[in-house]
Each structure stands twice: as structure tokens, then as C-alpha cells.
């Protein structure tokens, strides 16, 4: 197989352009994969532990750059729910964060703890309680 000078020049130009694009992406701050850097979870149980009652779950996710990622909600000793998509954007003081909120309808007594995880990463939230004695 013979490579002509024109083909060799075209290949060299393509390699140079690909290298330049990669350098521009790094300079623009688009380096690497989107990963979570911190996750927090807050749960508001129904007022006065009344059933049926309304509660609220909110997860805050910080990432290394703006983008979309999926979170999973884990019940201690139990089920995993999700994925739920979170979109992070750059905000005040350069913090890149997004949130996920879910309204809860508590119909029976519950005493459980939950945390949020992103599959394939070591970053997890705190355990947060959901309690209603009814």
C-alpha cells in the first residue's frame, strides 16, 4: 500500500486540527467528564407527624462543570429509586450546582433514612430521616 504525498498532507492536517480542538477545549475549561463533587440531601417530614401528610425531599448536587447527570435515591436497608436527572449550572461565587425536588405524600407511619448517590462515583450524600408516627 502506497501513501501519496497529498494523502499524507491531509492526514497531518487532520491530526493538527484534532490536536488544536482538544487544546481549545482544555483552555475553555471543558476538561474531562462531568462528575459530582458534593451531594447533600434534605427531607422535610409531615408537620406534627400527621398521616396522611405532605413532606418534601430536596437533593443538591455540585459538579466540576455544568451539565446533566442522573442521581439515585437509596433507602437504608431497602430499595433504590431513580434515576432522576439533575442539571447543574454555574452560579454565585463560581459554584456549579443543580437540585432535584420531590413532593412526598406520607400515608402511613414511616421511620426511614435516605441518601443520594451517583452510580459509578464515590460521592454520596448524608443520610436524611423521613419520620411520621401518625
107-133 pLDDT, tens digit each: 999 999 999 999 899 999 999 999 888
Backbone angles phi, psi at 54, to 5 degrees: -100, 140
- How many residues are recorded in the chain? 134
Residues 86 and 114 grouped into a single domain: yes
Q: Does one domain contain both 103 and 58?
A: yes
Q: Where does the chain show beta strands of DSSP type E?
A: 36-44, 53-63, 67-75, 80-90, 96-106, 110-117, 128-132
Over residues 47-85, the pLDDT tens digits come to: 877 788 899 999 999 999 999 999 999 999 989 999 999
Q: Are residues 67 and 126 in the same domain?
A: yes
pLDDT at 31: 63
Indicate left, alpha or beta for 80 from its phi (over 0: left) and psi (-120 to 50: alpha): beta
Instruction: Tell me what pLDDT residue 30 has.
Output: 55
List, for residues 91-102, the tens digit of each pLDDT value: 988 999 999 999
Q: What is the pTM of this model?
A: 0.73
Domain span at residue 84 reads: 36-132
Say whether both 24 and 82 belong to one domain.
no
Q: How many domains does the chain have?
A: 2
Whether the bond into 52 is cis, omega within 30 of 0: yes
User: Is the separation of the CB atoms in 99 and 79 below 8 Å?
Assistant: no
pLDDT, residue 49, reads 73
Residue 29's pLDDT is what?
54
The yes-or-no verdict on residue 9 having pLDDT over 50 is no
Amino acid at each position: 500500500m502506497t501513501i501519496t504525498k497529498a494523502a499524507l498532507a491531509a492526514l497531518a492536517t487532520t491530526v493538527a486540527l484534532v490536536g488544536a480542538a482538544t487544546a481549545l477545549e482544555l483552555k475553555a475549561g471543558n476538561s474531562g467528564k462531568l462528575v459530582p463533587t458534593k451531594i447533600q440531601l434534605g427531607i422535610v417530614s409531615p408537620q406534627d407527624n400527621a398521616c396522611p401528610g405532605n413532606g418534601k425531599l430536596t437533593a443538591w448536587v455540585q459538579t466540576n462543570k455544568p451539565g446533566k447527570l442522573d442521581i439515585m435515591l437509596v433507602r437504608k436497608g431497602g430499595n433504590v429509586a431513580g434515576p432522576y436527572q439533575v442539571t447543574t449550572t454555574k452560579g454565585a461565587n463560581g459554584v456549579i450546582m443543580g437540585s432535584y425536588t420531590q413532593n412526598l405524600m406520607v400515608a402511613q407511619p414511616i421511620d426511614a433514612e435516605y441518601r443520594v448517590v451517583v452510580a459509578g462515583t464515590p460521592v454520596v450524600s448524608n443520610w436524611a430521616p423521613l419520620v411520621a408516627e401518625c
